[in-house]
Amino acid sequence: MINSVITGSGHYLPNRIIKNEYFHTYEFYDEKGERIEKPVQEITKKFEDITEIKERRYVEDDLLNSDIATIAAKKAIEESGINPEELDYIIVGHNFGDIDPIGRQIDIMPSISAKVKHNLGIKNLKCIPYDMTFGCPGWVESLILAHQFIQASIAKKVLVIGSDTLSRASDPYDRSAMIFADGAGAVVLEAKEDDYKYGILNHETLSYTGEEIEFLKNGMSLNPNYTASTKNIQMKGRKVYEFVLKNVPPALKALLDDTNLDIDDIDKILLHQANAKMDHAMIERLYKSYGKKAPENIDPMTVQFLGNTSVATVPTMFDLIAKGELQPHQFNTDDTIIMASVGATMNVNAVIYKFKK
């Protein structure tokens, strides 16, 4: 049988570490466009208590999203040992393309995947660049698409990247700006023939486009006098929180059931992370649906020191664990993991992945 297997991974994290104290000079506004009069120190303290985020990374001014995507890609290609000219597809999950640090203009022409192919110097005309705009679940969905290409014998080697620079897309007058961060993660997914099943075992995607389409979107700043950008991330935090707890745990359980697996068969759950409290609650509800308590260290966390890096969260976490850089977490032979994400539209998706024996 043909398996879809990750043979190399890589990530890029900016050098600029932004602690919560950075925001103490900010002025925050509410949804009515009125300045919040509470002391900023009080706002950041409450933010940290809820999200557990203490710091995040912001991309350097001389780098664009396509640049950091390329850096992560090079690392994944090098580890896989493949010739990049052999790649059939380059799929990049992102939300805003390249955003210049001054004008804050969004640039997606040429596409990010085309720029990555150019940056890698790939000459193969049959290597197809493909952009995936799917909210924060964009990398997981890109991985699913790459798997489908491999299973359909359309591709044998696919570079799958998640990369965003959300610090350039957030509203500096919105408290949610403290959540967002920058980063890139990448893997090479290859077709591997074997007599037993490993790699991607199963996957699921759900897309909610009713009232949920308003939960995360772009819009004007909360500050009516701010005109530097008319496209800023707007998030209805309470709505997102309620949606996630209602919909993600049952979606993961349904996927496990469809794969004929029990929750005890899972060794790690790599969740997209925007709010630690929300992630803890998701895991608790998932295990509660099995009448069990979540084991310690089942869900690695990076949000506390990396913030919400959107599409880069899951592949970055995967690479950190694979490299032994997120202790005590590690991947072992024959481990089975879930990689899952939720985000704008709202979209929910997940992949069940098994390491080789």
CATH number at 338 reads 3.40.47.10
Burial class (CB in 10 A: 0-12, 13-18, 19+), 332: exposed
- pLDDT at position 149: 98
CA distance 356 to 192: 11
CA distance 56 to 45: 15
CA distance 255 to 283: 15
The beta strands (E) that lie in the chain are given as: 2-12, 16-19, 55-58, 89-93, 98-99, 106-107, 128-132, 157-165, 182-193, 199-207, 216-219, 232-235, 268-271, 336-343, 347-354
Question: What's the structural domain count of the chain?
Answer: 1
- Of 9, 34, 336, nearest to 200 by C-alpha is 336
Residue with tokens 């940290």: 48
- Token pair recorded at residue 213: 């389409």
Q: Please write the tens of the pLDDT for every residue from 121-166.
A: 999 999 999 999 999 999 999 999 999 999 999 999 999 999 999 9
3-state secondary structure of 148: helix
Please identify every stretch of the chain with a pLDDT value under 70, giving residue numbers as ranges: none
Q: Does residue 328 have a cis peptide bond before it, meaning omega lies within 30 degrees of 0? A: yes
- pLDDT at position 105: 84
pTM (2 decimals)?
0.95
Which residues are CB-contacts of 58 (< 8 A; sequence separation ≥ 6)?
14, 16, 18, 167, 181, 182
Amino acid at 64: L
Q: Please write the tens of the pLDDT for every residue from 191-212.
A: 999 999 999 999 999 999 999 8
- pLDDT at position 31: 87
Give yes or no for a contact between 200 and 4, defined as CB atoms under 8 angstroms apart.
Answer: yes
Give yes or no for a contact between 236 and 214, defined as CB atoms under 8 angstroms apart.
Answer: yes
- pLDDT at position 36: 92
Beta bridge partners of 7: none
Give yes or no for a contact between 270 and 187, defined as CB atoms under 8 angstroms apart.
Answer: no
CA distance 268 to 265: 9
- pLDDT at position 229: 78
Torsion-angle region of residue 323: left (phi > 0), alpha (psi -120 to 50) or beta? alpha
Q: Residue 19's domain spans which residues?
A: 1-357
Side by side, the strands of the sheet bearing 182-193 are 2-12, 182-193, 157-165, 89-93, 128-132
- Token pair recorded at residue 3: 């398996």
- pLDDT at position 352: 98
Helices (H), the chain: 40-51, 65-80, 112-119, 138-151, 237-258, 276-288, 303-306, 313-322
